[in-house]
Amino acid sequence: MTSRVTAALVAGAIAIAGCANDGRELRDPVADPPAANGADQPAAGSETESTRGEFVFSAPAFADGGPIPVANTCDGEDLSPELTWSGVPFGAAELAIVVSDPEADFFTHWVITGLSPDSTGIAAGEVPRGAVESRNTFGTVGWAGPCPPANHTYLFSLHLLPEPLGMAPDLDADVAVGLIESATIQAISTTGTYGPAGG
């Protein structure tokens, strides 16, 4: 009799176990939580708006509002100055630089487009690969440094563009600046001063 009772108890236990696991997997919600949806989570090491940093633009050879070196003017080698930037906001597909003289009806000294938003600057006297220089107000293509009859303040502006402009290298200065300004979503500037030698 004892063996029959034991067998009945074992059979009942197996039957109960079978009912509890009828094709459905039982999970411990604490030990085995559902996979998290990572769609809204930034990837490890990815750059976000909060980590990109402040948007800054400067000319290392002179402080904002300070004197432009003679080497960057017609009194010297007339080299384009080094310019640097960082923290470019998201949304820019291209960067452009315009250098003008507000005290001479915004006479344009330099227009350069096609700069990558991932770039961090331009070396003195150089044009990055893929960048395009338009004409300046003198009528030549590229940089034409300050060559004033009196002391002036020059405006160096970095423009953020939502789409590549694809500008021609010999485009007229006023046309090029107009296209840049009409497409700009944000701009940042620095200034420099210069006068004739001995001025």
Count of domains in the chain? Answer: 1
Tens-digit pLDDT profile for residues 157-180: 999 999 999 998 889 999 999 999
23: in domain: no
pLDDT tens digit string along 124-151?
A: 999 999 999 999 999 999 999 999 778 8
| Whether the predicted pLDDT of 97 surpasses 80 | yes
Task: Return the pLDDT at 75.
Answer: 92
What does the pLDDT average to over 17-29?
37
Cross-sheet strand order for the sheet of 56-58: 56-58, 83-86, 121-122
- Considering only 17-26, 100-109, 117-126, which range has the smallest mean pLDDT? 17-26
The answer, yes or no, to whether residue 156 has pLDDT greater than 70, is yes
Q: Is residue 189 part of a domain?
A: yes
What Cα–Cα distance (Å) separates residue 36 from each residue in 24, 33, 42, 143? 21, 9, 13, 54
Q: Print the domain residue range for 90.
A: 54-194
pLDDT for residue 32? 42
30 located within any domain: no
83 lies in a domain?
A: yes
- Output the CA–CA distances (angstroms, integers) from residue 121 to 9, 88, 95, 118, 126, in the order listed: 82, 11, 10, 10, 10
pLDDT at 35 over 60: no
Do 171 and 135 touch, CB atoms closer than 8 A?
yes
Q: 46 in a domain, yes or no?
A: no
Which CATH number is 169's domain given? 3.90.280.10
